[in-house]
Amino acid sequence: MAITESPRFVRADGPDKVTGSGRYTADMNLTGQLVAKFRYADVASARITRLDVSAAKAMPGVFAVITDEDVPDVHYGSPVPDRTLFARDAVRYEGEVVAAVAAVDAATAQSAVDAIVVEYEALPIVADLEASMAEGSPLVHERWETYDVGDGTEQRPNVASFSSIEKGDVQAGLDQADHVVTSRYEADGTHAIPIEPRAVIAQWEGDKVTIWTSSQVPFDARNGVCETLQLSANRVRVIVPHLGGGFGGKCGFHFEAHVAALARATRRPVKLVFSRREEFLAPDRRRESMIIDITTGVRNDGTITARTGWVAVENGAYTADSAFFPQLSAMHVAGPYAIANVFIESSLVYTNHQPSGSVRAPTAPQACWASESHNDEVARAIGMDPVEFRRRNLVDEGIEGPSGQVYGDIGVRRCLEAAVEAAGYGDDLPADEAIGVAVGWWPSFPGPSGAYIKLDGDGSGQIITGAQECGTGSVMTLRQLAADELGMDAEDFQLVYQDTSAAPYDTGATGSQTLLNNGRAVVESAKEIAEQLRELAADQLEAAAADIVLAGGNAHVAGSPDKSVSIPELAGIAAGGELLIGKGSGTPPEYPSASATCVGDQGMAGWAGPQFSCHAIRIRLDRETGVVRVLDVFAAHDSGTIINPVGARGQVEGGIMMGIGQALTEGTRYGDDGRQQNPALLEYKLQTAADVPTIHTTFIEVPDPNAGPRGAKGVAEAPNVPTAAAIANAITKLIGRPVRQLPMTAERVWTTSNTGSEQGGES
C-alpha cells in the first residue's frame, strides 16, 4: 500500500510548540512544590573521608537532605552494575551526585548545598585511554573484578566491555597486498546539547509516585526508579510533557529516582531543573572520545585484501548504555565494504571523565571519520580516485560484508552515484575549494513495542502508544500509517503518548527505532479495526467483507464506489455493540546471521535493516587562518521507504548540521585535574543558523521487508555518520595531508597544513 502524504499534514504537537502554549517539564508547577539541588563531587577521583550534611539539614526552609544512606543499597547498570544513585565511599567524576537537597526555593536549596561538607583523599586520575588499559594502571573501579558483568564478558583492567570481528586470515591478506597503509585518528568527546535542559518533578500519592521528566525513554526511566528505589512497576508512573530535544543525551535513566526519593522524604512535590552548566557536567550521556588505529592492505587494482583495526572507546566513570559501543565502532571501522580478511578489536575504557552514552549514532561519526579518511589515504597510495576506490569495494546485493553478513537489495552504490553526480564531482573548482566524499552506514534496531487504536462513535480515532516524541516527528507520523490502513485522514486521529501508565511498552526515542518498531505496532492495530469495519460494511452493503475497500473516509464495494457507507456511520453502529478497538505489538524481525567470529557482539554482528548514506560536501578553506566553511552538502540516503518526506528531510538536515559541528568546532576539553574546561556555550562552540550550508537531499528508496512498516528504515542517525568524514576528505585535498584529530578546528587545520604534523602513512 502506498503512503499518501497530505500536502497540509500538520504535526499534532506543532501548534503548541510554535505558539509557545506547549508545556515542558520546567513549565509545570504543583501546589506545595519544593526545589531540588544537588551537591556534586567537584573532583574527578577521590575517596570520601567525611560527609557532613547536618548544617544543611538545620537550615530554615530546608525540608530534606539525602545521601547514599537514605536510599536502598542497589548497584545498577546494564550489563555492568557499576554505580549507585549517590556516591558511595568514592567519587569517580566531577559531576557525580554526592547529596541532594529539597528546599522551599532555589536560593535556600543552593545555600544548603553549599553548607554540605565533603572531605576527600585524592586518588589517581585515569584519563588517558591507552595508558588506562596498560598493566598496572590505577583502576577507576578498585573492586572491578567483583562486579557481576554477566556471562561471556571478559574482565580486563579498566575495560567495561570488549568486542572483536575476525574473518579470514588477516596476515595472509596483508601479504597479498601491493601496499599496506596504517593510520591513527583521535576524536574528542562532544555533548548532545538539546535546547531544553533536563527537568524532573516527582509527587507521591500514598505509595505511588508520578514523575514528570524530560526523557527520551520514559519506560527506561520508570524501570530505573523501580530498580533503585525497590518499587513495583505499577507504583511508578512516568509522564513526559513536550520534550525540547534530546539527540540521545536524554536516553536512559538519569535523575528521576533522586527527585522521587526527595519527594518521598518530604511528602511534597519536588522539582529539579538543571542549569546549562549542570547540563554539561552531570548527565551520563555524552559522545565518547575515541582512538582509532587502522591498517589496510590493498592491491594496485583497488581491491582491499585485509583490514585490521584497534579502537579505544571512552566509557567515562560508569557504564550507561555504552556496553555495545565496541561492536558498533568495530563495524564502522570496517565500513560497508567487501573485505575478505578482517580483524578489528574495540574496547570500552573506564576513565575519570563524565560517562558516555547514546548520543546520535554513538561511535559512528568518529569511526566513519577515521575509516573514510583512511580510505582516501589508501586510494592515494595506489593513485586511484577515491570515488572509484569505493565503487570497487562497496558491498551490494549478494555480497558478503565485513562481519560475514550477506546483504539483500540495498542502495549504497546508488547513494554514492547520486551524491557525486549531484555535487558535480570532478568538475573544476576554485583553488580554495574542494569536494570530499564519504560513505556511511547505520543499523536498525528491531525491538518490542505496542500500540492501541480505537475509533469513537463519531468515527474519530485515538492512537495510544508507548512511543516517545523527541522532536523528530516519528510519533506524529504514526497517524499517517493508521489513516492509510483505514482510509481516513491523518488529522482524524489524536495521540495519547509519553505516559507509562496509559500505553504499552516501547523502547523510547532511541536508535531511530520509533517508526521502525512502533510503526509496525500501529499498522497491526489498524488492521484489526479495518477487518471490523469491513465486516460491518459488508452487512450494511450486502457484500462480502473481502470486497470492501476503505478509502476517503468511506467503506465501499470494490468496483462500485457509489455503493458505500461512511466510516463515522459504521463507528456509530459499532458503538451500540462491538467497539472498534485494535491492538498490535509489532513483532520484531529477527537479526540476520553473520559468519565472522564476533566476540561480545551484543547480538549485532548481523545488521537488520541497514541504512546507507553518502555525502559529497563542498568546502572553502582560508589557508591563512585554517577556517573551513561548508558551502554545499549533497546527501543521498537509503532509508528504505520514506513515510513522511518532509520529516525525513528535516532529520537529514539536522543530522548534517550536528555532524558539521562535530567536524569543525565541537569538543570537550579536560584539564589535568580531570574536570571539563569548557562547560558553557561561550566556550563550547555550536553551529548556528548562520553556519547552515545549502543541503541537497536525495532518498534512494529501497524497501526492506525485514524492517519497519512498508519497508521503512530509520532516518535520524544516518545523516550524522559520514558528514565529518566528507569534510575531512575535502580538507585533505586542499592541504595535502589528513587532520588526525576531531574536531578539525581552525588551529588544527592550520597546524597540519603548515607544519606537516601527522601520524600514519604507507608501510
Task: List pLDDT tens digits, range 310-325.
Answer: 999 999 999 988 889 9
Per-residue pLDDT tens digits for 253-304: 999 999 999 999 999 999 999 999 999 999 999 999 999 999 999 999 999 9
* Closest C-alpha to 712, from 485, 481, 416: 481
Q: Which three cell numbers stand for residue 388?
A: 572509484
Per-residue pLDDT at 186 exceeds 90: yes
d(Cα 720, Cα 583) in Å, to the nearest integer?
A: 34
pLDDT in tens, 28-38: 999 999 999 99
How many percent of the chain have pLDDT more than 70?
96
- Show Cβ contacts of residue 422 under 8 Å, excluding neighbours closer than 6 positions: 616, 634, 636, 696, 698
Pairing assessment for the beta strands 461-465 and 493-496 based on DSSP bridges: parallel
Confidence of residue 598 (pLDDT cuts 50, 70, 90): confident
The pLDDT confidence band at residue 4, using thresholds 50, 70 and 90, is very low
Distance spanning both ends of the chain, measured CA to CA: 55
- What are the φ/ψ torsions at residue 453 (nearest 5 degrees)? -130, 140
**If you average pLDDT over every residue of the chain, what do you get?**
93
Q: Looking at residue 8, what is its pLDDT?
A: 47
- Of 31-45, 127-141, 222-236, 564-578, which gets the smallest average pLDDT? 564-578
pLDDT in tens, 82-97: 999 999 999 999 999 9
pLDDT band, residue 475 (cuts 50/70/90): confident
pLDDT in tens, 640-682: 999 989 989 999 999 999 999 999 999 999 999 999 999 999 9
**Single-letter code of the amino acid located at 643:** I
Q: Is 636 helix (H, G, I), strand (E, B) or coil?
A: strand
Look at the chain and count its residues: 763
Residue with more model confidence, 722 or 514: 722
Span 549-563, average pLDDT: 94
Residue 352 — pLDDT band, cuts 50, 70, 90?
very high
The values of phi and psi at residue 128, to 5°, are -85, 120
pLDDT at 439 over 50: yes
SS3 532: helix
Instruction: Identify whether the C-beta of residue 415 lies closer than 8 Å to the C-beta of residue 614.
Output: yes
DSSP for 110-153, written as a single string:
HHHHHH-EEEEEE------HHHHTSTTPPPSSTTGGGS---TTP
Residue 5 has what pLDDT? 46
Q: Which pLDDT belongs to residue 757?
A: 61
Cβ-based burial of 195 (10 A; exposed 0-12, middle 13-18, buried ≥19): exposed
- Give me the domains of the chain, ranges plus CATH numbers: 25-123+198-273 (3.90.1170.50), 360-445+603-762 (3.30.365.10), 449-584 (3.30.365.10)
More confident position, 210 or 156: 210
Please tell me whether the overall predicted TM-score, pTM, comes out greater than 0.85 for this model.
yes
pLDDT the model gives residue 7: 45
pLDDT in tens, 62-75: 999 999 999 999 99
Lowest mean pLDDT among 18-27, 152-161, 251-260, 753-762: 753-762
Res 715: pLDDT? 93
What is the mean predicted confidence (pLDDT) over 730-749? Answer: 97
- pLDDT band of 376, cuts 50, 70, 90: very high
Q: What residues have CB less than 8 Å from 421, skipping those under 6 apart?
A: none
> Average pLDDT, stretch 231-246?
95
Q: How does residue 587 score in pLDDT terms, banded at 50, 70 and 90?
A: confident
d(C-alpha 50, C-alpha 73), whole Å: 19
Judged against a pLDDT cut of 90, whether residue 13 lies above it is answered with no
